[in-house]
């Protein structure tokens, strides 16, 4: 249960339909009034313009997402522990309870909370003020349900600033210098405290395994390689040669270490991916790959820069397609909830036209199964992945 008196929030006429259909956010412009004196993260009761109760949740008057829904009925006692337990049971059905995403925020009905498991280490991220106020209960629930040796809160996301929260990392128990991931028969080591986000991009697990099937005997270039996920999956699958580039030297160092850990042959270096693509496009790159992995970071920080970001995505994909030989493959991804699947495909179609190549879609995919998509909330479907073949 939530402690404290619930703030009563009234929706403007017609705004309850999306919530009643299952969406979990209320935006500030959908509310009749916003009382800025209310502390961020306060419990709230959301009512329709006619006075009917619609939901209960967290309220933050300083955020564009003014309310995050927790329940459309009565909120169950110890809901945090109960929902983490339910989320874990689903991951157990996937065989991912030790290495995988255990809680995926709204998709697991714990808005603003992300929990990843790395064997004995749990890394969590809190993204909203309401969950921040529940942190002691979150710690207790993680210990009760997951029984880790240590918990690291990687609370450094820029989204925290939008909620009026500071950026800081805290821990419970001794956090090891290096954490390890077991995935698809490979091991990946990374620095838990210095890594990006919660440490490892579990959302691409299934796509790494899928792409590996197409890499045997091929030359593979992994752009934005981070700690070597796609590159090493390709090397393990029998790729003839593998190169990886990333603009982060710590990421490159980790990729080199991971290649050694798995006794795989792959070359990694610090380099700007756009420069590599430009050289590939004009034919000056000495490397001649026939598989390119293009998995850039989130380029869409807000809805207002969506157009510019899509143009940049298009430019990157056009350059990659131009640089492929006949029959070459491009594995390309976008990881922003602002980009819909339709917009992603439309961007790829435009890039194919501008490249002057005939391009076929081998397969269109999404995020791994431990990142479930809530049908009523399109924002939970944020990762789009396509394998293209240039003819």
Count CA within 13 A, CB hemisphere, residue 25: 19
Residue listed under structure tokens 């337990």:
85
* 335: annotated active-site residue: yes
Residues 306 and 338: beta-carbon distance below 8 Å:
yes
Residues 122 and 390: beta-carbon distance below 8 Å:
no
Question: Tokens representing 329?
Answer: 């493959």
CA distance 219 to 217: 7
Output phi, psi for 274, to 5 deg: -65, -35
The CB-based long-range contact list for 139-147 (8 Å cut-off, 24+ gap) reads 139/172, 140/81, 141/78, 141/80, 141/81, 141/84, 142/84, 142/115, 143/172, 144/81, 145/81, 145/84, 145/85, 145/88, 146/84, 146/88, 146/102, 146/115, 146/117, 146/122
CA distance 149 to 142: 11
CA distance 266 to 239: 10
CA distance 152 to 75: 27
- The residue from 195, 215, 225, 335 that is catalytic is 335
CA distance 230 to 221: 9
Residue 361's beta-bridge partner residues?
A: 388
Q: Give catalytic residues, as residue numbers.
A: 335
């Amino acid at each position: 249960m939530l402690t404290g008196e619930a703030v009563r929030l009234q929706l403007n006429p017609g705004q309850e339909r999306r919530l009643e259909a299952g969406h979990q956010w209320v935006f500030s412009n959908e509310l009749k009034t916003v009382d800025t004196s209310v502390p961020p993260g306060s419990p709230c009761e959301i009512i329709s313009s006619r006075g009917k109760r619609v939901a209960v949740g967290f309220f933050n008057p300083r955020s564009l997402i003014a309310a995050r829904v927790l329940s459309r009925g009565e909120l169950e006692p110890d809901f945090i522990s109960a929902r983490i337990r339910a989320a874990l049971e689903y991951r157990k059905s996937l065989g991912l309870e030790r290495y995988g995403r255990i809680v995926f925020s709204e998709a697991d009905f714990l808005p603003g909370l992300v929990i990843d498991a790395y064997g004995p280490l749990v890394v969590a991220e809190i993204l909203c003020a309401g969950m921040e106020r529940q942190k002691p209960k979150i710690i207790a629930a993680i210990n009760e349900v997951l029984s880790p040796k240590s918990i690291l809160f990687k609370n450094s996301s820029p989204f925290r600033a939008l909620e009026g929260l500071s950026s800081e990392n805290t821990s419970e128990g001794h956090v090891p210098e290096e954490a390890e991931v077991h995935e698809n028969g490979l091991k990946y080591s990374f620095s838990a405290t210095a890594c990006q986000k919660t440490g490892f991009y579990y959302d691409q697990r299934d796509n790494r395994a899928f792409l590996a099937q197409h890499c045997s005997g091929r030359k593979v270039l992994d752009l934005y390689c981070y700690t070597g996920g796609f590159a090493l999956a390709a090397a393990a699958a029998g790729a003839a040669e593998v190169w990886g580039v990333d603009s982060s030297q710590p990421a490159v160092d980790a990729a080199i270490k991971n290649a050694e850990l798995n006794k795989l042959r792959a070359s990694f270096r610090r380099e700007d991916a756009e420069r590599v693509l430009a050289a590939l496009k004009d034919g000056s790159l000495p490397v001649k790959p026939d598989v390119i992995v293009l998995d850039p970071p989130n380029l869409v920080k807000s809805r207002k820069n969506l157009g510019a970001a899509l143009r940049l995505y298009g430019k990157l994909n056009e350059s990659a397609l131009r640089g492929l030989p006949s029959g070459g493959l491009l594995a390309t991804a976008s990881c922003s909830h602002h980009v819909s699947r339709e917009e992603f495909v439309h961007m790829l179609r435009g890039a194919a036209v501008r490249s002057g190549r005939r391009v076929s879609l081998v397969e269109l995919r999404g995020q791994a199964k431990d990142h479930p998509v809530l049908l009523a909330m399109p924002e939970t479907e944020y990762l789009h992945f396509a394998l293209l073949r240039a003819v």
